[in-house]
């Protein structure tokens, strides 16, 4: 079936460090891929998306590239800030439904 | 442009009771999806409503039911509550059920249900 697997957290980094959160997916065909972010006490917000192979989604300094050959959509940021502390969810769209991974909690230390 | 609003934000029920959660969709959105997010887990799809009809359902029993109203707002009803129903229930609205609009969900902050 369709599923998303992302690295387990929590991930703890110092401010200005480089961030990678791994995400791989299993799906038939070519789903759209997303990263959502959940800040404490808030609902999920779309961070970025990619709709076809080799597309790069980007927003707020975060990037992810749709890699069909490795079925991956890893999230990266060159220099994280304390305000990036949140839970990050990788997700795919299949049959018009969004399927989420379990989430990765990110802590950024000042 | 108003976002998605959910009520109540927190509630406590006992096993066997029934609960109704409410959601107002974002202005201009006609599709509502409900998700259950257990502690430490990703959101799990419960069902979706489009034009007041159920349009897809996840792996949840029939005691989870819903409604969508002509103004696109929605309710989630859960009967015969069980301890495992304790979770954050998220409502998300979108424009349409397919294509680029459907890909972008706008989430509410959720209703946190505790079943004792």
A53 φ, ψ to 5°? -55, 140
Tell me the pLDDT tens digit for each residue of A54-74.
Answer: 999 999 999 999 999 999 999
Higher pLDDT among residues B1 and A100, named by residue: A100
- In 3D, which of A29, A39, A41 has the Cα closest to residue A60? A39
For residue A30, pLDDT over 90 is answered with: no
Cβ–Cβ contact A79 with B under 8 A = no
- Measured between alpha carbons, how far is residue B50 from residues A1, A62, B69 in Å? 24, 32, 10
Cβ–Cβ contact A52 with B under 8 A = no
Tell me the pLDDT tens digit for each residue of B13-45.
Answer: 999 999 999 999 998 889 999 999 998 889 999
Whether the CB-CB separation of A5 and A100 falls below 8 Å is answered with: no
Whether the CB-CB separation of B48 and B29 falls below 8 Å is answered with: no
Whether the CB-CB separation of B111 and B8 falls below 8 Å is answered with: yes
The CA R_g of chain B, rounded to the nearest whole Å, is 13
Mean pLDDT (whole number) for A70-96: 93
Separation in Å, CA of B104 to nearest CA in chain A: 7
Measure the CA–CA gap between A31 and B102, rounded to whole angstroms. 13
Which H helix or E strand runs over A12? strand A11-14
Question: If you search the block for the tokens 């959105």, which residue do you land on?
Answer: B29
Mean pLDDT across chain B, nearest whole number? 92
| Residue of B105, B106, B108, B111 to mutate for A, most A C-beta atoms under 10 A | B105
pLDDT of residue A109: 96
């Amino acid at each position: 079936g369709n599923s998303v697997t992302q690295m387990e957290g929590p991930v703890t980094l110092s401010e200005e460090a480089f961030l990678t959160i791994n995400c791989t997916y299993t799906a038939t065909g070519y789903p759209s891929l997303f990263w959502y972010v959940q800040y404490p006490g808030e609902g999920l917000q779309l961070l970025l998306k990619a709709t076809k192979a080799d597309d790069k989604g980007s927003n707020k300094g975060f990037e992810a590239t749709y890699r069909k050959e490795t079925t991956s959509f890893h999230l990266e940021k060159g220099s994280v800030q304390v305000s990036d502390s949140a839970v990050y969810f990788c997700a795919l769209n299949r049959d018009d439904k969004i399927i989420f991974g379990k989430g990765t909690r990110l802590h950024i230390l000042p | 442009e108003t976002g998605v609003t959910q009520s109540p934000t927190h509630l406590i029920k006992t096993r066997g009771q029934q609960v109704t959660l409410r959601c107002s969709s974002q202005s201009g959105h006609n599709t509502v999806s409900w998700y259950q997010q257990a502690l430490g887990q990703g959101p799990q799809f419960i069902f979706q409503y489009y034009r007041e009809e159920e349009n897809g359902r996840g792996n949840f029993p029939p005691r989870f039911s819903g409604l969508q109203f002509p103004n696109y707002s929605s309710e989630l009803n859960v009967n015969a509550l069980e301890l495992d129903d304790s979770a954050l229930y998220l409502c998300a609205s979108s424009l349409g059920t397919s294509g680029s609009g459907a890909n972008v969900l706008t989430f509410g902050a959720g209703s946190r249900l505790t079943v004792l």
